[in-house]
Amino acid sequence: MKKISLLLFFPALLFAQENTTAVTPKQQGKYDTNKFSQMYDLLATPNMFRTASGAPGPAYYQQQADYKMDIELDDKNSKIMGSQTVTYSNNSPENLEYLWVQLDQNMRAKNSQSPLAENEKVSQKLTVGGFADKYLVEGPDRGFHIEYVKDAQGNPMSHTINQTMMRINLATPLKSGAKITFSIKWWYNINNYQKEGGRSGYELFEKEGNKLYVIAQFYPRMAVYNDVEGWQHMQFWGGGEFALPFGNFDVNFTAPADHVVDATGELTNRSEMFTAAQNKRYEKALKSFDEPVVIVTQEEAEAAEKGFSDQKKTWKFSAKYVRDFGIASSRKFIYDAMAVQLKDKVVMAESLYPKEANPLWGETSTKVVAHTLKSYSAHTFDYPYPKAVSVSAEDQGMEYPMICWNYGRPDENGVTSDRIKHGMTSVIIHEVGHTFFPMIVNSDERQWTWMDEGLNSFLEYLAEQELDPNYPSSRGPAKNIVPYMSGDQNFLEPIMSNSETIIQFGNNAYGKPAAGLNILRDVVMGHELFDHAFKTYANRWKFKHPTPEDFFRTMEDASAVDLDWFWRGWFYSTDYVDIGIKDVKQYYVSENPTAELKNVKIRKGRFGVEEGPFVYLIDGDHKEFQSSNKKGLEVAQMQPLVSYINENFSTDEKATIKKPKYFYEVEFNKPGGMIMPILVELTYEDGSKEEFKYPAQIWRKNNSSAKKVYATEKAIKKIQIDPKLLTADIDVTNNVWPKVVTKSKFD
């Protein structure tokens, strides 16, 4: 067979061959650095567990842990003891060789690694008590004391404790689809959280010696096992909070007989725990939708706190499909409640507080709880649990299913400053709101703080503004995050950073995500598209374990808005927004071309060239544009244009034709790295204003420069970018034309 040269069929090869040595590249090739690049390099690959749409896939699974507990509070010794039976269901497709259990109280144990991992410096001014606690007194005995771990037959189970995690070694692997039951007995000494810190513990009222307990992380809790990373058993260092599976709880809590107790779940022996009068008041509260009904009065609480009963009572709670359990107990508690009507059900809003919290709490707390349930339900899904409880615990702000602790009390004279009242209101909204995120939409707080704190701070802002349009919200408005965004880059990290590595925790995990979501809602997507997508995410992932990718993908999937540029910039980088006006040129209509314009060709179709007549827009600073005709011509004076209109437009169309007299070309630049829509406000000479919004895609072919042309009937007096401060622009000095010059006092 005759050999035929490839050059006959591919002559380009000859060209390439001939030029291989002659062509020298002028510069190196470049990688794709366009900020609109899709996020395949950052997001996990979709699979049968988690789909590309952001929804749970057909193979999605999650484990379940059910608890039966007997807990006792030793008030005199500030000690809590418990025995629990856990039934763990392995719904994963894998067999499990061992189980991991969280022992969060071990963060405060004497051998805890947490203090060793923190940097220290000498505090040169301390209270006497503070100095003694720090340097003279041996630390208290804290952390779990595990008395036993036994299987269902009562046999000891091998287990290994590694700081805040305990591995239970199984004799035989727990097969896929199987269950295992085991029991743990434990106790620990409760911390005074005001002295030692912590998300739970007790508050001591020194005058009378009473304690107010808010008890959480109090039992060995099953760790999460999922399709993303297997066991989530990162140590609890104190910053990253918790990842927990759902389950059913039956809890018997024994406390001094004069204590009032509330907890996660429904109280199943209410009639035994309260007096006949108190039960009657509760029945009234079930039908009171406008005002709280006081169930345990201040007089009753004051009488109880004068004695220290040696008797005991056991409160019985049952909670269905919750991820955690919290308890509040004290003889000081006043207790009120009211009913809340949601779309399809009635739930109870409740508050527990000592007399020191009145009149503020009696007037405010339960009503704020009710408002929060209504607001969050409207933006996500109807609150599914039977109640939501707000507990007054000074210096606290922490959440658990159906119950939370919140700070804020009046002074000794009962006077409350606006700062305290607003602070307390915000904390109650925030902590009650956490029942939605992450107690129901169950994200991994140990890994991603922003997925619960950031989303919740955003919804908190909406609830605050719905409560009062003039409410002084601290987080949410875009302008409030500017000081952080414009800060020293050495102390900033992307939102997508592990919880334990964040330097400015509040700004990074709360403030920046909340501001970003408001920007998406107000500027990028609009309320209708955003609200639908956000509600879709909440409903897809309620009672499940979402990841960041699930949120990002769902927001795009349900809105048809490409947001990769936003996630990439706002969540994965420390880029900031800074859009400015670089240049403004005014042009004038003329029938006479400049020398340069004479030779400009205008294409007609793919191959033709327009022959005219032409209209010329000439830069007012052009050397050939004489001052004598600086104003240029009006459209009505241009006979070729008038003739074109008469020949091509109907009478009705002519009536709507614009008659611009002024032509401006505005060049916007972007000193900041973060892409953002351009919001422009024009102010005309007569004082009237007009707003324009250009989508972020205006930057897609040039990430640093964009131009727009304005043809107006009135002269423009002022051009301003983002006049309402909706985009978190860190430098507004370049947002205005003509540039505002600030005179010094010496001018």
| Separation of alpha carbons 261 and 258, rounded Å | 10
552-576 b/e (C-beta count within 10 Å ≥ 16 → b): bbbbbbbbebebbbbbbbbbbbbbb
According to DSSP, the β-strands at 145-151 and 179-189 are antiparallel
Residue 144 lies in a domain: yes
Based on the fold, state whether residues 733 and 607 are members of the same structural domain.
no
Shared domain check, 414 and 318: yes
| Residues whose CB is less than 8 angstroms from the CB of residue 519 and which lie 6 or more positions away in sequence, other chains included | 478, 570, 676, 726, 727, 728
Residue 12 lies in a domain: no
Name every residue whose Cβ is closer than 8 Å to that of residue 626 and which is 6 or more positions away in sequence. Answer: none
Q: Write down the pLDDT at residue 6.
A: 35
Q: Which two tokens stand for residue 106?
A: 């071990």
DSSP state of 568: I
Distance between CA atoms of residues 79 and 145, nearest Å: 11
Question: Do 585 and 691 belong together in one domain?
Answer: no
Number of CB atoms found within 10 A of residue 673's CB: 15
Mean pLDDT, rounded, for 309-332: 97
Q: Which two tokens stand for residue 556?
A: 């795009």
474-485 average pLDDT score: 96
Whole-Å CA distances, 561 to 144, 478, 518, 520, 737: 49, 21, 16, 10, 31
Q: Does 132 reside within a domain?
A: yes
Is the residue at 652 inside a domain? Answer: yes
The tokens for 601 are 């060709």
Q: Which residues pair with 334 in a beta bridge?
A: 353
Give the DSSP letter string of 79-127: EEEEEEEEEEE--SSS-EEEEEEE-GGGGGSTT-STGGGS-----S---
Q: What is the rounded average pLDDT of the residues 334-356? A: 97
**Three-class SS state of 608:** strand
Torsion angles phi and psi, residue 391, rounded to 5: -115, 130
pLDDT for the residue numbered 613: 87
117 pLDDT tier (thresholds 50, 70, 90): low
* pLDDT of 599 over the 70 cut: yes
Whether 429 contacts 406, CB under 8 Å: no
Do residues 646 and 621 share a domain? yes
Q: Could you say which DSSP state residue 142 is in?
A: -
Residue 2 has pLDDT above 70, yes or no: no
- pLDDT score of 7 more than 70: no
Q: Give a yes or no: residue 230 inside a domain.
A: yes
Among 447, 481, 511, identify where a domain stops.
447
Residues 372 and 391 in one domain: yes
Q: Do 246 and 375 share a domain, yes or no?
A: yes
pLDDT value of position 742 = 55
CA distances from 343 to 266, 347, 373, 383 (A): 21, 11, 11, 10
Same domain for 641 and 692? no
Is residue 374 located within the same domain as residue 439?
Answer: yes
What is the per-residue pLDDT for 405?
A: 97
| Residues 241, 451: Cα–Cα separation, whole Å | 12
Q: Which domain, by its residues, includes 637?
A: 581-656
The last residue of one of the domains, among 447, 472, 493, is 447
In a domain, 476, yes or no: no
> How does the average pLDDT of the chain come out, rounded?
91
Is residue 294 domain-shared with residue 345, that is, in the same domain?
A: yes
| Secondary structure in 3-state letters for 388-436 | EEEEECCCCEEEECCEEEECCCCCCCCCCCHHHHHHHHHHHHHHHHCCC
Least confident of 70-79, 111-120, 483-492: 111-120
Query: Is 624 inside a domain boundary?
Result: yes
Are 257 and 211 in the same domain? yes
Q: How many domains does the chain have?
A: 3
Pick from 447, 476, 510: which residue ends a domain? Answer: 447
Within-domain flag for 461: no
What's the pLDDT at 320? 97
Does 670 or 13 have the greater pLDDT score? Answer: 670
* Model confidence at 14: pLDDT above 70: no
pLDDT at 596: 87
Query: Tens digit of pLDDT for each residue in 270-289?
Result: 999 999 999 999 999 999 99
The closest alpha carbon to 91, from 179, 168, 167, belongs to 179
Residues 6+ apart with CB under 8 A from 213: 73, 190, 201, 202, 327, 328, 329, 330
Rg (CA), the chain: 33
Q: Which residue from 536, 582, 573, 581 is spatially nearest to 556, judged by alpha carbons?
A: 536
pLDDT score for 592: 83
Instruction: Give the mean model confidence (pLDDT) for residues 703-711.
Output: 95
Starting at the earlier edge strand, list the strands of the sheet with 580-590: 616-619, 580-590, 662-669, 705-712
Q: What is the pLDDT of residues 617-649, one digit of tens each?
A: 888 876 655 544 556 677 777 888 888 889 999
Which tokens go with 681? 């406000």
Q: Is pLDDT of 433 > 70?
A: yes
The answer to whether residues 647 and 669 belong to one domain is: no
Q: Does 658 score more than 90 pLDDT? A: no
CB-based contact 15:7 (threshold 8 Å): no
pLDDT recorded at residue 18 = 42
Supply the pLDDT for residue 630.
53
State mean pLDDT over 466-492: 95
Binning pLDDT at 50, 70 and 90, where does residue 549 land? very high
Residue 422 has pLDDT above 50, yes or no: yes
pLDDT the model gives residue 9:
36
Q: What pLDDT score was predicted for residue 16?
A: 40
Q: Quick count: other Cβ atoms within 10 Å of Cβ 744?
A: 5
Please indicate, yes or no, whether residues 164 and 239 belong to a single structural domain of this protein.
yes
CA neighbor of 67 nearest in space, from 231, 217, 251, 242? 251
Specify the pLDDT at position 116: 62
User: CA 698 → CA 260, 527, 691, 704, distances in Å?
Assistant: 61, 21, 17, 10
CA angle 307, 308, 312 (to 5 degrees): 130
Residue 8 pLDDT: 36
Q: What is the pLDDT, as a whole number, of residue 365? A: 98
Structure tokens that stand for 613 in this block:
């007549």
203-220 pLDDT tens trace: 999 999 999 999 999 999
Task: Grade residue 17 by pLDDT with cuts at 50, 70 and 90.
Answer: very low
pLDDT above 90 for 5: no
Sign of the torsion angle spanned by Cα atoms 376, 380, 382, 388:
negative
Domain harbouring 399, CATH code? 2.60.40.1730
Beta strand pairing call for 403-406 and 387-392: parallel
d(CA 574, CA 577): 10
Over residues 24-50, mean pLDDT? 85
Question: pLDDT-based confidence at 11, cuts 50/70/90?
Answer: very low
